[in-house]
Amino acid sequence: MQKLLLTIDKISTFAGQFFSWLIVALTFMITWEVFSRYVLDNPHAWAFDVMSMMYGSLFMMAGAYTLSKNGHVRGDVLYGFFPPRLQAGLDLALYILFFVPGVFALAYAGYGYAADSWAINEHSNITANGPPVYPFKTIIPIAGAILFLQGLVEIVRCIICLQSGQWPSRGQDVEEVDVEKLKEMVNVKDEDIAKLDTLVTAKGVAK
């Protein structure tokens, strides 16, 4: 079971990391458009729509990736102090009541939007030759399906935690800076930092 959960985590991670390259594409595109608009006096009316679609694709495809890393924002002022079983019970209830219906509706409706868009060969109407919209709308049901699959994984994790009292492990990926590990790597102790703070404060008062 754990192997299956981690496999789906890897699928979500791959999707998120693959679409994260859109950040690089967006950076170059925005830079070129600013240069073209203000230096070459040659703006492109379609550029804003393309940028919006690229960012929207990135945002949607990052949803399952973020969920697989337990990285979505939650109001954990109290949640963090709860024992694992209580956390799992709350998460399970919220997944069943809100997540599953909402994401299923997203994927189902998104499929309809994408099908209609392909059927009429939909293009942006901001210009006469606006960029195609149907590839972007296709992302909606795909992102919804992957997010729904990852949500089922999280539901299984909740059930496992309710049974065992411990959260099952997740796949490792890039994380925020671990301050304690960084201190250990550079051989800096809390006492040294405190002394440095005292020294800086004393110099500031002396001035």
Cα(64)–Cα(11) distance, rounded to whole angstroms? Answer: 9
Cα(100)–Cα(59) distance, rounded to whole angstroms? Answer: 19
For 32-56, letters b (16+ CB in 10 Å) and e give ebeeeeeeeeeeeeebebbbebbeb
Which pLDDT belongs to residue 171?
67
> What stretches in the chain show pLDDT beneath 50?
none
Every domain of the chain and the residues it spans: 2-175, 178-207
| pTM of the predicted structure, to 2 decimals | 0.77
The answer to whether 65 and 15 are in contact (CB under 8 A) is yes
CA atoms in the 13 A half-sphere facing the CB of 3: 0
Which pLDDT belongs to residue 176?
56
Phi and psi, residue 45, nearest 5°: -65, -25
Which pLDDT belongs to residue 27?
94
Which pLDDT belongs to residue 44?
87
Which pLDDT belongs to residue 22?
93
The answer to whether 82 and 161 are in contact (CB under 8 A) is no
Q: Which two tokens stand for residue 20?
A: 């994260």
Which pLDDT belongs to residue 126?
75
The predicted-structure confidence for 116-155, as pLDDT tens digits, reads as follows 999 999 988 877 778 899 999 999 999 999 999 999 999 9
The answer to whether 94 and 132 are in contact (CB under 8 A) is no
Cα(55)–Cα(140) distance, rounded to whole angstroms? Answer: 13
Q: Which two tokens stand for residue 40?
A: 């070459």
